[in-house]
């Protein structure tokens, strides 16, 4: 469903809700006014004999405070078949006679039409005086109907004003907002079609009126398309690199299986050597797949948050690095009592990956340090190796990136560190120069 249609539906729904609300107001007022009339009638019905006596005196011409109380009330007798006998009619409507049919409930107010008189309807209560005699009290609803009619007219006029203003706003929004968005939608469909067919994403949104949100959105959309192009290029490079990394062990496995099928492995030693190579390549491929899975899920996997003592954590990482590279000196510098809320295993995995990277590609002593940073902590892993050229530093956190073709490793360690940092709401970066060593840093917020 298009945005324009949704806007029209929303506008129609709003007007419908407003209409229902206004109808509710009308019904509430009518109910309130009717309840006032009912209260008056039920008060009279509570002392029906005395009210009938007063009405008879008023009909005979007697005046006084008591007769004024019933001057605007119709009082009469009611037969079983609904036949009425007027005792007193309202002074403002002397010809009023309710149309009763004998089925009126006793002691409860109901609406009835009139047989004669100026009022079109009345509110009537029937009271049973004895086994054979019933009396009715009725009040004309002329004033109630007039008040409700005036309110209905005012509410209808208000609804028309709101509908007119809403229509004007909808036209204005369509002209300045929806039409440019429709053009963007057309460009997006064109881009989707070309991208799906493998073509270049060269369509762009034409510039809009300066200073409008539509123009800003068009500029942002064009920027997004530029980013999509760059992302598509990175994705193609990632797939190519992953395929290349997996092709080597798969080729080895296929080669040994073909040798075995042709009977070329004719000695136990040859079979054992082939199985050793197959197991090594399978392990290598499994490790590569595990690393790919770790990188792809690090951002989305839930974190087991807790208080992490960075002094103990970096000490454990240093011990692991000394065990794997006993010829390298590893030092730890941590401010006492430095604690952060994080996933201890993930943070240790990230720092260990940075330390392993320093062992593989750096030289000289390795220094692990942690310090308080603005809003959190900063962990650094430094070495005094050959350094990383400035042109390489931005790309080293991309999967499968290697500074040179002969570089060891899968090229997934640093991307995994970046993913772990993002999962904690932190960042990762590098500070290096050719011949000056390298320092990788990882920041974590104080309350991850």
Indicate the residue among 101, 133, 148 that finishes a domain.
148
CA dist list (Å): 406 to 250, 361, 413: 20, 11, 16
More confident residue, 117 or 242: 117
Question: Which one has a higher pLDDT value, 99 or 211?
Answer: 99
Q: Is residue 205 part of a domain?
A: no
d(CA 103, CA 90): 24
Three-state secondary structure call for residue 324: helix
Residues β-bridged to residue 97: 116
pLDDT in tens, 22-70: 999 999 999 999 999 989 888 888 888 888 888 888 777 777 777 777 8
Q: What is the mean pLDDT of residues 414-439?
A: 84
Residues 261 and 310 in one domain: no
Q: Which residues contact 192 (CB under 8 A, 6 or more apart)?
A: none
Contacts by residues 231-234 (CB-CB < 8 Å, ≥ 24 positions apart):
232/195, 232/201, 234/398
Instruction: Please give the pLDDT value at position 254.
Output: 82
**Cα–Cα dist 307/217, whole Å:** 43
Binned at pLDDT 50, 70 and 90, residue 84 comes out as confident
Mean pLDDT of 237-244: 65
Domain CATH code at residue 373 = 3.30.565.10
409 and 344 within one domain: yes
> What span, in angstroms and rounded, lies between the C-alpha atoms of 381 and 368?
5
Confidence category of residue 300, pLDDT binned at 50, 70, 90: low
Is 203 contained in some domain?
Answer: no
Are 264 and 331 within one domain? no
Whether 139 and 226 map to the same domain: the answer is no
| Residue 187 located in a structural domain | no
The pTM is what?
Answer: 0.45
What pLDDT sits at residue 305? 86
Task: Please check whether residues 310 and 397 belong to one and the same domain.
Answer: yes
80/300: higher pLDDT: 80
127 CB neighbour count, 10 Å cutoff: 22
Q: What DSSP line would sit under 325-370, residue for residue?
A: -TTS-EEEEE-TT-EEEEEHHHHHHHHHHHHHHHHHH--S-EEEEE
Dump the DSSP string for 17-69: HHHHHHHHHHHHHHHHHHHHHHHHHHHHHHTHHHHHHHHHHHHTT--SHHHHH
Q: What is the pLDDT of residue 24?
A: 92
User: Same domain for 340 and 441?
Assistant: yes
Both 143 and 257 in one domain: the answer is no
Arithmetic mean of pLDDT, 258-263: 81
Residue 206 in domain: no
In the predicted model, is pLDDT for residue 104 greater than 90? no
Whether pLDDT at 199 is above 60: no
DSSP-based three-state secondary structure for 308: strand
Domain co-membership, 311 together with 292: no
- Give the angle subtended at the CA of 78 by the CAs of 77 and 80, to the nearest 5°: 150
Question: Which CATH number does the domain housing residue 222 bear?
Answer: 1.10.287.130
Q: Are residues 346 and 293 in the same domain?
A: no
Among 297, 319, 334, where does a domain finish? 297
Q: 86 with 29, same domain?
A: yes
208 or 145, higher pLDDT = 145
Burial of 123 (0-12, 13-18, 19+ CB in 10 A): buried
191 lies in some domain: no
Q: Is residue 406 part of a domain?
A: yes
- C-alpha to C-alpha distance for 318 and 312, rounded to whole angstroms: 10
Residue 444 has pLDDT above 80, yes or no: yes
Query: What pLDDT does residue 12 have?
Result: 87
For residue 228, the enclosing domain spans: 213-297
Residue 104 DSSP class: P
Instruction: Give the model's pLDDT for residue 376.
Output: 84
The residue from 245, 269, 297 where one domain ends is 297
Tell whether 8 and 141 lie within a shared domain. Answer: yes
Return the pLDDT at 11. 86
User: Contact 129/53 with Cβ under 8 angstroms?
Assistant: no
pLDDT exceeds cutoff 60 at 167:
yes
DSSP state of 425: T
Total number of domains in the chain: 3
208: in domain: no
What average pLDDT does the chain have? 81
**What percent of the chain shows pLDDT beyond 70?**
83
pLDDT tens-digit map of 355-396? 888 888 778 889 999 988 877 889 999 988 787 777 676 767
Residue 282 lies in a domain: yes
Indicate if 316 and 293 belong to the same structural domain: no
45, 75 in Cβ contact below 8 A?
no
């Amino acid at each position: 469903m298009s945005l324009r249609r949704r806007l029209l539906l929303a506008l129609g729904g709003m007007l419908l809700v407003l209409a229902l609300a206004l109808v509710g107001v009308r019904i509430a007022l009518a109910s309130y006014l009717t309840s006032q009339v009912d209260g008056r009638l039920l008060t009279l019905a509570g002392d029906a004999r005395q009210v009938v006596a007063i009405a008879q005196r008023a009909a005979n011409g007697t005046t006084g405070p008591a007769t004024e109380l019933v001057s605007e009330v119709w009082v009469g007798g009611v037969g079983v078949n609904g036949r009425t006998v007027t005792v007193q009619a309202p002074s403002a409507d002397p010809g009023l006679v309710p149309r009763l049919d004998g089925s009126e409930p006793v002691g409860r107010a109901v609406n009835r039409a009139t047989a004669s008189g100026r009022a079109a309807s009345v509110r009537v209560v029937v009271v049973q005086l004895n086994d054979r005699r019933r009396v009715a009290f009725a009040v004309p609803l002329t004033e109630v109907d007039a008040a409700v009619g005036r309110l209905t007219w005012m509410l209808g006029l208000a609804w028309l004003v709101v509908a007119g203003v809403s229509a004007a706003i909808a036209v204005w929004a369509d002209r300045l907002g929806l039409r440019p968005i429709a053009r963007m939608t057309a460009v997006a469909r064109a881009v989707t079609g070309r991208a799906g067919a493998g073509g270049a994403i060269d369509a762009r949104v034409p510039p809009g009126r300066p200073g409008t949100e539509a123009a800003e959105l068009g500029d942002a959309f064009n920027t997004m398309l530029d980013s999509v192009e760059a992302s598509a290029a990175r994705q193609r490079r990632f797939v190519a690199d992953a395929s290349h990394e997996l092709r080597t062990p798969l080729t080895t496995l296929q080669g040994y299986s073909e040798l075995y099928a042709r009977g070329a492995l004719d000695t136990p030693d040859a079979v054992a050597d082939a199985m050793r190579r197959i197991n090594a390549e399978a392990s290598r491929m499994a490790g590569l797949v595990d690393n790919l899975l770790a990188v792809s899920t690090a951002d989305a996997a839930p974190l087991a948050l807790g208080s992490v003592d960075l002094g103990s954590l970096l000490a454990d990482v240093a011990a692991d690095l000394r065990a794997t590279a006993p010829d390298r000196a590893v030092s730890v510098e941590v401010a006492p009592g430095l604690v952060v809320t994080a996933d201890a295993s993930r943070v240790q995995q990230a720092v260990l990956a940075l330390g392993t990277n320093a062992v593989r590609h750096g030289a000289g002593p390795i220094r692990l340090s942690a310090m308080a940073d603005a809003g959190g902590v900063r962990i650094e892993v430094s070495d005094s190796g050959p350094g990383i050229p400035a042109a390489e530093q931005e790309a080293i956190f991309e999967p499968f990136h290697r500074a040179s073709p002969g570089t060891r490793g899968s090229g997934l360690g640093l991307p995994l560190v970046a993913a772990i940092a993002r999962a904690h709401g932190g960042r990762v970066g590098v500070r290096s120069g050719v011949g000056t060593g390298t320092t990788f840093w990882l920041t974590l917020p104080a309350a991850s």
